[in-house]
Amino acid sequence: MASITKINHIALAVTDIENSLSFWRDALGLELAELRDVPAESAQIAFLPVDGTEVELVRPTTGDSGLAKYIEKRGQGMHHLCLETDDIVAMMAQLKEKGVKLINESPRTGADGKRYAFIHPKSTGGVLVELYQI
């Protein structure tokens, strides 16, 4: 049986990464570990590690991306919670068996080799949840 092993990251939707860094990096003192363009998700992401997890500032790079539409509808703020799993395929099967609605029917693989999939907020009480397998 697959299990959740930790919180991998919390992603915050932003329209301006530099402006957001004035709080997260400059005021709180979190280190900016990396700024990465992710063309597959039409996003730019700032990674700020915090004791084994990360805060991610996620900015849309196109006006028609899912993230851009999210910000237009809901504004800036928490976008999703990412939970790490030891077996993403088995976890997705377990969730489907329990009637949980998934956005992705099979895991996607990022440029960094991590496998991920999203769970629909309708099944989580309104929170977009991402599953990660490293």
- Decide if 11 contacts 24 (C-beta within 8 A): no
In the predicted model, is pLDDT for residue 121 greater than 90?
yes
Dihedral in degrees, nearest 10, Cα atoms 111, 9, 73, 95? 90
Q: How many CB atoms lie within 10 A of CB 67?
A: 20
Q: Where are the domains of the chain?
A: 4-133
The whole-number pLDDT of residue 116 equals 96
pTM tops 0.75, yes or no: yes
* 65-109 pLDDT tens trace: 999 999 999 999 999 999 999 999 999 999 999 999 999 999 999
Q: In whole numbers, what is the pLDDT of the chain averaged over residues? A: 96
CATH topology classification for 4-133: 2,3-Dihydroxybiphenyl 1,2-Dioxygenase; domain 1 (3.10.180)
